[in-house]
């Protein structure tokens, strides 16, 4: 399947936006369908850069991007760093342990001190929902949310959508089943918002104890039955189960979780013939997903990771160049 | 002191003189006479506009004055200044100061500060348990002698059913109510917003309504067992109101209060233009429309006894944090009266007489203090109201030290014209002349 056969419009048939409307990416909640399409289309061009021997373009040369991570992360942080470097930006990564947060400095003061050095963009991951929103009110830099508490992880949802689109040619009309700890998952919220905006039918499945209140208002079809969720699904996305949740009486053991909700090859038989299996990572093998499935022919988990760089390059590019967007198109 | 004659206004005094164009004569800090066209006789005359209301002084039975220990947020002086600016002649202050008011010495300190400030009367509420830790009963008898009017571990629920039972029995013996912050800690967990769609969408851990109503039910059962008076603080959930109604029907001595934000705002406010606004974070949280509507209905039909603000000042630095890390609470003394007018009186939900019951008559009765009426001999504490005054809330101009209000820039109709305590005019609204 080539790039040219990709659907270039959203499910309403409208063309991609010419630029992003907000100077920040705080969540999928602020994005409309045409902007999502713009990001995905731009990511395709960025993906091509990753196939060259010299994986670098000068687009963000002279721009400073700070990765301010208050939560440990290998995958997302390195993905952003690689994306930034491929665009020739000057990048700096700060992890909490070495920052002044441990000295009791507030989030606002930490960022204001950074801002004094005039970064163009700050990519931030924080354990509190809404931290990027607070920053956007006190900062001049553009803020990119790399995951805030249990709220959103917009670049994850974008790279998931990119991956789905690569395989299925579209997002509209697909049945997507998301299985796992829905209550605590920012990946769920971002994916639910994005996929429903783009016209997909999204099912949320997990134990009743891990269902968020008002889940149907979030646009999801809720079910505690994996079989019902997986029936005819085009995409099955597994979410990580944290072992600590057992202490909150959410489920009794990982053994029982796997027995009731774990994705196995048998369970997958109910899905559509060319179902794709996704996981934002890191995986707990034998808990939410069986190794057969994780490593099997339907799994696109590693593609998600490589697509992550392209999608993040697209986001950085589109936010950094917003003011010039009106005149030019993508590179 | 010369006598003071309030001439020309409309008295609304449901527990005393009734409703009419009466003058009020004040002498030696007490109400001397209420009647039509009283002679001046050398008294100092305060002209009251004909459409202004003269009511018995409003009493806010749930206020955090933060002194001792947190004077950067508020002091007894600034808090009582805020109170009189809001039309309150008296406040009852909660014990979650630093140190907690679990000892007569601290009660005496607070009363001393109030006397020095010479604004609103202050009635301390003592802690039920030492440090409000829920382990050992505080010296409730000594505290009552020192001046406490009620007991509460506010900030937290009274920790166990057994402690609540004993507290009710003991306080009942002293003829003083126990006020409970009703919340089951295990159900509240790390919640920071009402458990519902908005909290889910924002990724905020939820506090289900049942965390409150379950504890309300516990306390009503214990009040029934002990025949003592329990007062439910800051009620927010319709299930709690249902339990209170059922308790009252059975003859249990239960009273309850609702704060203005719980009859005005809902969790829809979380979806406003400013996301994660910590001025919308309080405990109990803003709940659903059905809860807000139930509170209004209860306020109207008499199931709710009092309106009390839960005035909770916090410094701007403390509220400029991530939503889950910011402290709970908003100020309320200076926005209560305009909100009651705008949202309850002018909408026809309650009469002026009912407003006075909710803000004066019942609060005085609940904490057993003088006031609530303009009968002869009562202390000359009066709240003078301008029911059609346009009020624009300005957080930056509040008399309180703190600015944490969700009502900044709100335009409301109805406000305070003046406040009189012990026959002294302690506040006059410059915008009301």
Per-residue pLDDT of B226-252, as tens digits, reads: 999 999 999 999 999 999 999 999 999
- Name the burial class of residue A324, with classes exposed (0-12), middle (13-18) and buried (19+) by CB atoms within 10 angstroms of its CB: exposed
Residue A99 confidence (pLDDT): 57
**Nearest residue to A229 (alpha-carbon basis) of A205, A206, A208:** A205
Place of tokens 């593609």: A303
- CB-based contact (8 Å) between A106 and chain B? yes
Least confident of A72-81, A307-316, B215-224, B347-356: A72-81
Nearest to A128 among B200, B274, B322 (CB): B322
Q: How far is residue B360's CA from residue B56's CA, in Å, rounded to a whole number? A: 6
**Nearest residue to B416 (alpha-carbon basis) of B42, B85, B142:** B85
**pLDDT exceeds 90 at position B413:** yes
Residue A38 has which token pair?
């713009």
State mean pLDDT over B276-297. 98
**pLDDT exceeds 60 at position B357:** yes
**pLDDT exceeds 60 at position B95:** yes
B326: chain A residues, CB-CB within 8 Å: none
**pLDDT exceeds 70 at position A11:** no
Nearest to A151 among B195, B202, B206 (CB): B202
The per-residue pLDDT for range B191-215, each reduced to its tens digit, is 999 999 999 999 999 999 999 999 9
User: Is B310 known to be catalytic?
Assistant: yes
Alpha-carbon torsion, ordered A269, A272, A276, A282, to 10 deg:
-50
Q: How far is residue B340's CA from residue B352's CA, in Å, rounded to a whole number? A: 10
**pLDDT exceeds 80 at position A291:** yes
The answer to whether the CB atoms of A107 and B321 lie below 8 A apart is yes
Number of Cβ atoms within 10 Å of the Cβ of B50: 9
Q: Which of B199, B278, B322, B323 to mutate to test the interface with A (most CBs of A within 10 A)?
A: B322
Nearest to B195 among A129, A137, A213 (CB): A213
Distance, C-alpha B93 to centroid of its chain: 9
Place of tokens 């590693």: A302
Residue A242 confidence (pLDDT): 80
* Secondary structure of residue B150 in the 3-state scheme: strand
Residue A80 confidence (pLDDT): 98
Nearest to A107 among B189, B206, B322 (CB): B322
Residue A235 exposure: Cα atoms within 13 Å on the Cβ side: 32
Nearest-CA distance B273 → chain A (Å): 11
Residue A248 confidence (pLDDT): 83
Q: How far is residue A258's CA from residue B279's CA, in Å, rounded to a whole number? A: 42
The answer to whether the CB atoms of B206 and A213 lie below 8 A apart is yes
Number of Cβ atoms within 10 Å of the Cβ of A291: 11
State mean pLDDT over B300-325. 97
Pick the catalytic residue: A153, A175, A184, A189? A153
Residues 6+ apart with CB under 8 A from B161: B218, B222
Nearest-CA distance A128 → chain B (Å): 6
**Nearest residue to B277 (alpha-carbon basis) of A136, A71, A214:** A136
**Nearest residue to A145 (alpha-carbon basis) of A67, A64, A60:** A67
The answer to whether the CB of B80 falls within 8 A of the CB of B122 is yes
Residue A14 confidence (pLDDT): 58
**pLDDT exceeds 50 at position A2:** no
DSSP string, A78-113: HHHHHHHHHTT-EEEEEEGGGSGGGGT--HHHHHHH
> What number is the ipTM of this complex?
0.91
Q: Which of A101, A134, A220 to mutate to test the interface with B (most CBs of B within 10 A)?
A: A134
Q: Which of A130, A156, A193 to mutate to test the interface with B (most CBs of B within 10 A)?
A: A130
A with B: how many residue pairs have Cβ under 8 Å apart?
71
Nearest to A214 among B189, B197, B324 (CB): B197
% of chain B beyond a pLDDT of 90: 99
What is the number of residues in chain A? 331
**pLDDT exceeds 60 at position A35:** yes
B202: chain A residues, CB-CB within 8 Å: 129-130, 151
Confidence of residue B1 (pLDDT cuts 50, 70, 90): low
State mean pLDDT over B370-388. 97
Residue B351 confidence (pLDDT): 98
Cis peptide before B261 (omega within 30 of 0): no
State mean pLDDT over A90-101. 75
The answer to whether the CB of B181 falls within 8 A of the CB of B64 is no
The answer to whether the CB atoms of B202 and A107 lie below 8 A apart is no
**pLDDT exceeds 70 at position B385:** yes
State mean pLDDT over B294-319. 98
- CB-based contact (8 Å) between A217 and chain B? yes
Confidence of residue A324 (pLDDT cuts 50, 70, 90): low
Element housing B387 (H / E): strand B382-392
Q: What angle do CA A194, A196, A199 make, to 5 degrees?
A: 110
- Is the Cα torsion angle A312, A318, A321, A323 positive or negative in sign? negative
Place of tokens 């507290």: B167
User: Is A125 known to be catalytic?
Assistant: yes
- Is the Cα torsion angle A65, A66, A72, A74 positive or negative in sign? positive
Cis peptide before B284 (omega within 30 of 0): yes
Place of tokens 């009731």: A260
Residue A325 confidence (pLDDT): 58
* Secondary structure of residue B282 in the 3-state scheme: coil
% of chain B beyond a pLDDT of 70: 100
Number of helices (H), then strands (E), belonging to chain A: the values are 11, 9
- Mean residue pLDDT of chain B comes to 97
Instruction: Quote the crossing angle between the two packed helices B104-117 and B76-85, to the nearest 10°.
Output: 50
The per-residue pLDDT for range A117-149, each reduced to its tens digit, is 889 999 999 999 999 999 999 999 999 999 999
State mean pLDDT over B374-396. 98
Q: Which of B276, B280, B321 to mutate to test the interface with A (most CBs of A within 10 A)?
A: B276
Confidence of residue A10 (pLDDT cuts 50, 70, 90): very low
Nearest to B199 among A128, A134, A213 (CB): A213
Q: What angle do CA A226, A231, A232 make, to 5 degrees?
A: 145
Report the b/e string of A199-213 with b at 16+ CB within 10 A. Answer: ebbbbbbbbeebbbb
**pLDDT exceeds 50 at position B147:** yes
Kindly state the DSSP code that residue A297 receives in the 8-state scheme. Answer: T
- CB-based contact (8 Å) between A218 and chain B? yes
**C-alpha separations of B227 from B86, B181, B247 in Å:** 35, 19, 12
A214: chain B residues, CB-CB within 8 Å: 196-198, 200-201
B196: chain A residues, CB-CB within 8 Å: 213-214
Residue B213 has which token pair?
């109503």
The per-residue pLDDT for range B109-129, each reduced to its tens digit, is 999 999 999 999 999 999 999
In chain B, which residue's Cα lies nearest the Cα of A212?
B200
**pLDDT exceeds 90 at position A74:** no
- pTM equals 0.94
Q: What angle do CA B155, B156, B161 make, to 5 degrees?
A: 155
Residue B216 has which token pair?
């309300």
The answer to whether the CB of B257 falls within 8 A of the CB of B62 is yes
Q: How far is residue B340's CA from residue B359's CA, in Å, rounded to a whole number? A: 10
Residue B25 has which token pair?
């004569």
Confidence of residue A330 (pLDDT cuts 50, 70, 90): low
A107: chain B residues, CB-CB within 8 Å: 321-322
- Strands B4-7 vs B23-27: parallel, antiparallel or unpaired: antiparallel
Report the b/e string of B191-226 with b at 16+ CB within 10 A. Answer: bbbbbbbbbbbbbbbbbbbebbbbbbbbbbbbbbeb
Alpha-carbon torsion, ordered B355, B357, B362, B368, to 10 deg:
110
B325: chain A residues, CB-CB within 8 Å: 128
Q: How far is residue A249's CA from residue A181's CA, in Å, rounded to a whole number? A: 13
State mean pLDDT over B327-349. 98
- As a whole number of angstroms, the longest Cα–Cα distance in chain A is 58
Q: How far is residue A66's CA from residue A81's CA, in Å, rounded to a whole number? A: 9
The per-residue pLDDT for range B154-192, each reduced to its tens digit, is 999 999 999 999 999 999 999 999 999 999 999 999 999
- Is the Cα torsion angle B247, B214, B340, B22 positive or negative in sign? positive
Residue B298 confidence (pLDDT): 98
Q: How far is residue B303's CA from residue B301's CA, in Å, rounded to a whole number? A: 6
State mean pLDDT over B388-416. 98
- Name the burial class of residue B164, with classes exposed (0-12), middle (13-18) and buried (19+) by CB atoms within 10 angstroms of its CB: buried
Residue B238 confidence (pLDDT): 98
Confidence of residue A113 (pLDDT cuts 50, 70, 90): confident
In chain A, which residue's Cα lies nearest the Cα of B203?
A151
**pLDDT exceeds 80 at position A102:** no
Pick the catalytic residue: A77, A125, A126, A189? A125
**pLDDT exceeds 80 at position B144:** yes
The per-residue pLDDT for range B39-72, each reduced to its tens digit, is 998 999 999 999 999 999 999 999 999 999 999 9
**Nearest residue to B203 (alpha-carbon basis) of A185, A272, A262, A23:** A185
């Amino acid at each position: 399947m080539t790039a040219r056969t990709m659907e270039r419009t959203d499910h309403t048939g409208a063309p991609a936006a010419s630029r992003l409307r907000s100077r920040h990416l705080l969540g999928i909640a602020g994005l409309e369908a045409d902007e999502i399409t713009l990001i995905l289309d731009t990511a395709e061009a960025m993906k091509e850069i990753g196939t060259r021997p010299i994986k670098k373009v000068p687009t963000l040369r002279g721009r400073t991007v700070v990765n301010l991570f208050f939560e440990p992360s290998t995958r997302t942080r390195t993905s952003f760093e690689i994306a930034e470097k491929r665009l020739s930006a000057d990048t700096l990564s700060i992890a909490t342990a070495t920052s002044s947060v441990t000295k009791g400095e507030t989030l606002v003061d930490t960022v204001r001190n950074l801002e004094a050095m005039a970064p163009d963009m700050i990519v931030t991951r924080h354990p509190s929902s809404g931290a990027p929103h607070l920053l956007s009110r006190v900062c001049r830099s553009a803020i990119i949310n790399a995951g805030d508490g249990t709220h959103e992880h917009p670049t994850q949802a974008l790279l998931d959508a990119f991956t789905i689109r690569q395989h299925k040619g579209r997002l509209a009309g697909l049945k997507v089943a998301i299985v796992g700890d829905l209550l605590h998952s920012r990946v769920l919220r971002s994916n639910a918002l994005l996929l429903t905006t783009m016209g997909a039918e999204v099912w949320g499945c997990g134990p009743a104890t891990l269902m968020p209140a008002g889940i149907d208002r979030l646009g999801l079809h809720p079910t505690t039955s994996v079989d019902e969720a997986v029936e005819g699904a085009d995409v099955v996305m597994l979410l990580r189960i944290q072992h600590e949740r057992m202490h909150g009486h959410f489920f009794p053991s990982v053994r029982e979780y796997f027995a009731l909700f774990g994705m196995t090859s048998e369970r997958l038989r109910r899905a559509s013939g060319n179902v794709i299996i996704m996981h934002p990572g890191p995986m707990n093998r034998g808990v939410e997903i069986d190794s057969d499935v994780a490593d099997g022919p339907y799994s696109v988990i590693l593609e998600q990771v490589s697509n992550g760089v392209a999608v993040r390059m697209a986001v950085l590019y589109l936010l950094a160049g917003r003011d010039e967007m009106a005149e030019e198109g993508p590179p | 002191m010369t006598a003071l004659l309030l001439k020309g206004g409309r008295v609304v005094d449901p527990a005393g003189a009734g409703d009419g164009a009466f003058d009020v004569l004040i002498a030696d800090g007490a109400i001397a006479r209420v009647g039509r066209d009283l002679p001046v006789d050398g008294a100092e005359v305060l002209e009251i506009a004909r459409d202004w209301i003269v009511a018995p002084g409003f009493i806010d039975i749930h206020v955090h004055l933060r002194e001792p220990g947190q004077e950067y947020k508020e002091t007894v002086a600034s808090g009582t200044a805020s109170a009189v600016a809001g039309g309150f002649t008296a406040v009852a202050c909660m014990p979650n100061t630093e140190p907690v008011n679990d000892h007569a010495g601290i009660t005496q300190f607070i009363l001393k500060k109030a006397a020095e400030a010479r604004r609103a009367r202050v009635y301390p509420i003592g802690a039920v348990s030492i440090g409000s830790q829920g382990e050992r009963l505080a010296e409730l008898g000594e505290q009552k002698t020192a001046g406490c009017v009620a007991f509460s571990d506010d900030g937290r629920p009274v920790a166990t059913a057994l402690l609540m039972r004993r507290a009710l029995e003991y306080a009942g013996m002293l003829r003083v109510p126990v006020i409970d912050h009703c919340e089951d800690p295990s159900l509240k967990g790390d919640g920071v917003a009402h458990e519902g769609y908005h909290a889910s969408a924002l990724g905020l851990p939820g506090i289900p309504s049942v965390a409150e109503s379950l504890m309300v039910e516990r306390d009503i059962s214990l009040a029934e067992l002990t025949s003592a008076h329990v007062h439910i603080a800051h009620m927010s959930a319709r299930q709690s109101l249902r339990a209170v109604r059922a308790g009252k029907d059975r003859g249990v001595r239960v009273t309850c209060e609702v704060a203005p934000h719980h009859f005005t705002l809902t969790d829809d406010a979380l979806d406003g233009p400013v996301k994660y606004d910590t001025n919308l974070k309080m405990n109990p949280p803003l709940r659903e429309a059905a809860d807000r509507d139930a509170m209004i209905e209860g306020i109207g039909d008499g199931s709710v006894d009092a309106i009390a603000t839960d005035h909770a000042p916090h410094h701007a630095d403390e509220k400029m944090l991530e939503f889950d890390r910011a402290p709970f609470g908003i100020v309320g003394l200076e926005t209560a009266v305009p909100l009651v007018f705008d949202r309850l009186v002018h909408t026809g939900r309650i009469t002026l007489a009912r407003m006075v019951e909710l803000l004066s008559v019942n609060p005085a009765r609940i904490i057993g203090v003088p006031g609530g009426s303009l009968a002869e001999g009562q202390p000359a504490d009066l709240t003078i109201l301008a029911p059609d005054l346009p009020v624009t809330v300005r957080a930056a101009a509040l008399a309180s030290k703190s600015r944490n209000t969700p009502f900044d820039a709100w335009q409301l109709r109805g406000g305070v014209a003046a406040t009189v305590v012990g026959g002294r005019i302690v506040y006059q609204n410059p915008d009301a002349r």
